[in-house]
Structure 1
């Protein structure tokens, strides 16, 4: 179980890094931003799959899973709206709030690190 936890943490850390790199490339008009966006999407799938492998008690982890999916969805919406040169303020706010909530849930649930 611990190896799966490390895999999940590694994938979301890399996913977040790729998200910010892709965002900055899109803002800068880099022609390779589309390729980075596809790689970031691959990590979104890996985050989802590794998180699914962690579910031992669906009832306890259902909220975290739903909020985690929202985090990925808001990350994708920020990137797509940035690529289309549309406003991203609301999506950034929803992304940050959902990320903070999913981190709280992840650290406070039984498989998490005892911080809270």
Structure 2
């Protein structure tokens, strides 16, 4: 079940949606609701790491280095996303972290979909 890419993709799609919702709640001054969404997002960070780790250990054979780079860039996405929300909450500028988030997200998506496993349509 977890050797398919579907659970992993589902977790990061939900996390992206939760991230956007948290940003929208912050912009609307809804701190309590944002805190709830942010905590839920942190749970999804853990699920992303678990499902990604399972995929990494299952598929990292000959292309071990590329899967390792993808794993590290995925961790960078999580780190940048968390730092964007934390900096916004603290009232500090988050532009640099947002740029890092976009770049690391694009790198991670490119690597993830260009590798042999890619999007496992057959599950």
Residue of structure 2 equivalent to 1:76: 82
Specify every segment of 5 or more residues in structure 2 that has no aligned partner in the other structure, as ranges. Answer: none
Q: Is 1:7 paired with 2:7? A: yes
Structure 1: runs of 5 or more not aligned: none
Question: Does the 8 Å CA contact 1:64/1:105 hold for their aligned counterparts?
Answer: yes
Residue 106 of structure 2 corresponds to residue 105 of structure 1: no
Greater relative contact order structure (CA < 8 Å, 6+ sep)? 2
| TM-score of the aligned structures, taking structure 1 as reference length | 0.91
Match of 2:97 in 1: 91
Deviates more, 1:69-78 or 1:57-66: 57-66
Over 3 Å counting, the alpha-carbon distance change for 1:65 and 1:3 in structure 2 is: closer
Output the CA distance in 2 between the equivalents of 1:112 and 1:101: 14
Correspondence for 1:48: 49
Looking at structure 1, the residues matched to 49 and 2 of structure 2 have their Cα atoms a distance apart, in angstroms, of 17
Residue-by-residue CA offset, 1:40-97 (whole Å, 9 max, x unaligned): 1000111111101101214331000000000000000000011111101101100000
Number of corresponding residues:
114
Q: Distance in 2 between matches of 1:2 and 1:80?
A: 31
